């Protein structure tokens, strides 16, 4: 089927993933499907043997791979290589995703999600459960989503998903390419505020419905070298403030681009993140309140008593609220 037009484009990202990349690539080429699929892999100028490993797979499967091997790191230059270099090369009707330090565990992964999507044109995205492992390969107790968040196969409403924030992992994404048209044509501002995978999910929720398969078919390796989770742990206080401030702005943009269909839910998200901002910088949080106050006025008027008390405490004693917030976070993290 290699000479047929691909139905699915599998997008893979690699950066210093030498220790894991062969396993990730092998899990993708092992997929058993009734259709043709291509693999678009982007390596962002790795300093290890990642590009050599990619070239070895390309030599073995020349008709299946499109390899984009950078000589200069694109991420550090703030280049949107997804939209500029990867998506324009994707020929499939659907896009699936697997990063170089993760891997798929079910050889029928693509086939199962394809069948779900083909049956219902209203679906924009299909996702499944993902198991988390440590850098060393030890299974962790966390899954994406957790059983408490979602425990049944079927459609999940956007209203139910927004309070969960970001329950899915990218290795489970199987997206109808037309749902990403605003991203590919530069007609969404979400790219300025959210990570690439978060943009994919939010655009999909705007464009159509989501179907969840309660079946673990891939693995997410947490805190591996070069991973997003590792970079997040290394953020400075100032970088955390900048990150949360961007998220607050991003949720307001998401509200606008979704036609205010989930307005009150997103108002509460903005409220929560602005309070969370105070754990790093009370001054930045107070300044941000001045900007978001008009946006939150209608929601605060009928917000639950607990939320109004939180707001009142922060306004009167922001320093005390900061300390209470930090204590509660420490207790919950135990």
pTM, two decimals, is: 0.89
Which of these three, 229, 254, 285, is where a domain ends? 229
The verdict on 45 and 176 lying in the same domain is: yes
Report the candidate in 75, 73, 9 with the shortest Cα–Cα distance to residue 41.
9
Return the SS3 of 252: helix
CATH of the domain at 72: 3.90.550.10
pLDDT tens, residue by residue, 289-326: 889 999 999 999 999 999 898 888 888 888 887 787 77
Nearest 5°: the CA angle 38, 40, 81 is 150
Q: Is residue 3 in some structural domain?
A: no
d(CA 124, CA 144): 19
Output helix, strand, coil percentages for the chain, rounded to the nearest 5: 50, 20, 30
Give the model confidence (pLDDT) of 162-186 as tens digits: 988 779 999 999 999 999 999 999 9
- Residues spanned by the domain of 152: 8-229
Domains of the chain: total: 2
C-alpha–C-alpha distance, residues 26 and 258, integer Å? 38
139 vs 145: CA distance, rounded Å: 15
Q: What residues have CB less than 8 Å from 162, skipping those under 6 apart?
A: 262, 265, 266, 269
Print pLDDT tens along the chain (334 aa). Answer: 556 899 999 999 999 999 999 999 999 999 999 999 999 999 999 999 999 999 999 999 999 999 999 999 998 898 888 888 999 999 999 999 999 999 999 999 999 999 999 999 999 999 999 999 998 889 999 999 998 999 899 999 999 999 887 799 999 999 999 999 999 999 999 999 998 899 999 999 999 999 999 999 999 998 755 555 555 556 788 888 899 999 999 999 999 999 999 999 999 999 999 888 888 888 888 888 889 999 999 999 999 999 898 888 888 888 887 787 777 765 545 5
Task: Please report whether residue 16 resides in a domain.
Answer: yes
Are residues 284 and 198 part of one domain? no
φ/ψ (deg, to 5) at 122: -80, -15
| pLDDT tens digits along 45-70 | 999 999 999 999 999 999 999 999 99
Q: Is the peptide bond before 145 cis (omega within 30 degrees of 0)?
A: yes
User: Are the beta carbons of 213 and 110 closer than 8 angstroms?
Assistant: no
Residues 42 and 115 in one domain: yes
Same domain, 263 and 115: no
């Amino acid at each position: 089927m290699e000479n047929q037009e691909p139905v699915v484009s599998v997008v893979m990202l690699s950066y210093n993933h030498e220790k894991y990349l062969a396993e990730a690539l092998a899990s993708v080429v092992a997929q058993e499907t009734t259709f043709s699929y291509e693999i678009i892999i982007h390596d962002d100028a790795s300093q290890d043997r990642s590009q050599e490993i990619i070239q070895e797979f390309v030599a073995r499967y020349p008709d299946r791979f499109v390899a984009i091997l950078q000589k200069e790191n694109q991420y550090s230059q703030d280049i949107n290589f997804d939209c500029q270099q990867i998506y324009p090369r994707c020929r499939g009707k659907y896009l699936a995703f697997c990063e170089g330090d993760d891997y798929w565990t079910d050889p029928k992964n693509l086939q199962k999600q394809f069948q779900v999507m083909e049956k219902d044109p209203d679906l924009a995205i299909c996702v499944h459960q993902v198991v988390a492992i440590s850098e060393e390969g030890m299974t962790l107790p966390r899954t994406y989503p957790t059983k408490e968040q979602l425990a049944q196969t079927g459609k999940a409403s956007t209203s139910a998903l927004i309070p969960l924030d970001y329950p899915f992992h990218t290795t489970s994404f199987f997206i109808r390419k037309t749902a990403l048209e605003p991203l590919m044509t530069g007609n969404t501002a979400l790219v300025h505020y959210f990570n690439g995978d978060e943009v994919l999910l939010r655009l999909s929720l705007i464009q159509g419905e989501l179907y969840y398969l309660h079946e673990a078919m891939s693995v997410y390796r947490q805190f591996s070298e070069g991973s997003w989770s590792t970079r997040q742990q290394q953020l400075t206080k100032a970088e955390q403030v900048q990150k949360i401030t961007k998220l607050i702005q991003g949720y307001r943009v998401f509200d606008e681009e979704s036609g205010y269909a989930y307005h009150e839910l997103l108002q509460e998200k903005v409220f929560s993140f602005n309070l969370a901002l105070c754990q790093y910088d009370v001054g930045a949080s107070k300044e941000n309140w001045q900007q978001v106050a008009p946006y939150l006025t209608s929601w605060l008027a009928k917000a639950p008593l607990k939320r109004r008390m939180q707001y009142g405490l922060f306004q009167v004693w922001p320093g005390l609220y900061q300390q209470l917030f930090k204590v509660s976070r420490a207790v919950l993290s135990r």
